[in-house]
Amino acid sequence: MLGLNKKDATLLIVVAALTLCAPFILNPFPTGSAMAQFNAGYPDLMQRFIIFGIFAIGFNILFGLTGYLSFGHAAFLGVGSYSAVWIFKLFTYNVIPAITLSVVVAAIFSLFIGFVSLRRSGIYFSILTLAFAQMSFALAYSVLSNPKFNLTNGETGLQVYADDPQWFHRDSLPDLPHLFGLSMRSTYSLELGAWRFDFNAGYYLCAVILMIVFYLAIRIFRSPFGMMLRAVKSNQQRMNYTGLNTRPYTLAAFVISGMYAGLAGGLMAAMDPLAGAERMQWTASGEVVLMTILGGTGTLIGPVLGAGFIKYFENIFSKINDTVLHNWFAFLPDGIEDFVVFIVHPFIGKGWHLTLGLLFMLVVIFLPGGLVEGGQRIGRLLKGKKKAPDSEDPEHHPKETPHVAE
């Protein structure tokens, strides 16, 4: 199907089904019940799942395939957001031109940064991208918001004001980002007994785009181009010795992943017409690194999982407080209950970042393949119980001799 083999097609279909049915899947608990706080099926959060998923897929094309660890990808996201909001301000609230422009601008921006940064590799590359991103952040935060030439509106963030020109805006159109008249905020709520499901236009736009870019990512992973990128990761020097210039390939990967980031930024602005400089800060770049690693670097589904995982738990953990904890542990004897709550307290609510940091360290240390590898291990464990564990290589092929390290 669509030039995919059976396994990939299944994966794509599963992802498509999951995203389309997300409003159902993420709302398993009846509204108003005690467990309703674990519901994630409201539009704002679901949009964030998808948008960060797109961001992480793009980042994974660079980091997962070529091994170049960029610490400055948030800059492209920020640039995408700014250009989308500018379209809203100057021309129209229609999201198609805004998203298109954000991808194009991010591509140009990443072409420039990539051209410079990719002259170095390894740790130097990380620091160069970090420096570029911090520079863009500083520019957006202060320099480009001077009264004469206000491109970013500094600390306040760029937003649409009533006196903006909006040349193509008609009164009949909604006063919010829309797709040919369909407002991104419009939500259809379906009440089914005690359950309530929200179907949001913006979410479905993001979902369709996610499916498209996920399909593209699969094609990139399976293409000769993707193969070349993997070769860069395993041994760039050898590639160079065979007379092959790897720079155009890595640059293309960098620009593609920059475009994904720009797309995510554009979508973010389309869901909420606002762009701020803090989106470009290096902690934001760090976040996408966390998502990709947590999910599984170099795998197709990993980054999406990681993004969803982090955004879901960020949301849930921040909501849990001591009262909730006391309810949970009410079955324990009083003294022990207080003790358990005391122990868990630093990790919840505002302490979510602590949990995230610990989790991230644990994943890097024990599970370098992320959630995907964890799933595979569990799967293997379950299979191993059914079948007698046979040796790795039942046909006793001679082992390949490992290459001597350079």
CA distance 96 to 270: 9
SS3 of 324, please?
helix
Residue range at the interface with another protein (CB under 8 A); choices 5-13, 41-49, 207-215, 347-355 = 347-355
Q: Is 120 in the site for another protein (CB under 8 A)?
A: yes
Q: Is 356 in the site for another protein (CB under 8 A)?
A: yes
Residue range at the interface with another protein (CB under 8 A); choices 91-99, 121-129, 204-212, 222-230 = 121-129
Q: Is 90 in the site for another protein (CB under 8 A)?
A: no
Amino acid at 354: L
Rounded to a whole number of angstroms, the distance between the first and last alpha carbons of the chain is 42
Comparison of 19 and 236: residue with beta carbon closer to another protein: 236
Query: Which of 97, 351, 374, 375 touches another protein (CB under 8 A)?
Result: 351
Q: Is 13 in the site for another protein (CB under 8 A)?
A: no
Give min distance, CB of 352 to another protein, in A. Answer: 9
Please identify which residue in the block is written with the tokens 């207080």.
338
Give min distance, CB of 307 to another protein, in A. Answer: 17
Give min distance, CB of 206 to another protein, in A. Answer: 28
Contact 289, 77 (CB under 8 A): no
Residue range at the interface with another protein (CB under 8 A); choices 9-17, 127-135, 201-209, 380-388 = 127-135
Please give the residues from 362 up to 401 whose contact with another protein meets the rule CB under 8 A.
364-365, 368
CA distance 263 to 84: 10
SS3 of 42, please?
coil
Q: Is 404 in the site for another protein (CB under 8 A)?
A: no
Comparison of 201 and 348: residue with beta carbon closer to another protein: 348
Give min distance, CB of 146 to another protein, in A. Answer: 6
CA trace torsion 29, 199, 266, 137 (10° rounding): -30
Nearest C-alpha neighbor of 257 from the set 75, 134, 19, 95: 75
Q: Is 158 in the site for another protein (CB under 8 A)?
A: no
CA 157 from centroid of its chain's CA atoms = 22
Query: Which of 32, 35, 167, 237 touches another protein (CB under 8 A)?
Result: 237
Q: Is 257 in the site for another protein (CB under 8 A)?
A: no
Query: Which of 96, 192, 361, 378 touches another protein (CB under 8 A)?
Result: 361
Q: Is 293 in the site for another protein (CB under 8 A)?
A: yes
CA 237 from centroid of its chain's CA atoms = 31
Strand bridging mode 195-200 / 149-150: unpaired
User: Helix 247-271 vs helix 74-90: angle between axes, to the nearest 10 degrees?
Assistant: 50
Comparison of 223 and 235: residue with beta carbon closer to another protein: 235
Query: Which of 249, 282, 309, 317 touches another protein (CB under 8 A)?
Result: 282
Q: Is 342 in the site for another protein (CB under 8 A)?
A: no
Residue range at the interface with another protein (CB under 8 A); choices 164-172, 191-199, 324-332, 346-354 = 346-354
Query: Which of 9, 11, 127, 316 touches another protein (CB under 8 A)?
Result: 127
Is the C-alpha dihedral spanning 389, 295, 236, 4 positive or negative? positive
DSSP string across 262-320: HHHHHHHHHHS-EE-GGGGSHHHHHHHHHHHHHH-TT-SSHHHHHHHHHHHHHHHHHH-
What does the angle CA 293 – CA 298 – CA 301 come to, to the nearest 5 degrees?
A: 80
Comparison of 286 and 374: residue with beta carbon closer to another protein: 286
Q: Is 150 in the site for another protein (CB under 8 A)?
A: no
DSSP string across 86-118: HHHHHT-SBHHHHHHHHHHHHHHHHHHHHHHHT
Contact 314, 356 (CB under 8 A): yes
Give min distance, CB of 275 to another protein, in A. Answer: 19
Which stretches of the chain bind another protein, using CB under 8 A?
67, 69, 116, 119-124, 126-128, 130-132, 134-135, 138-139, 141-144, 146, 236-237, 282-283, 286, 289, 293, 346, 351, 353-354, 356-358, 360-361, 364-365, 368
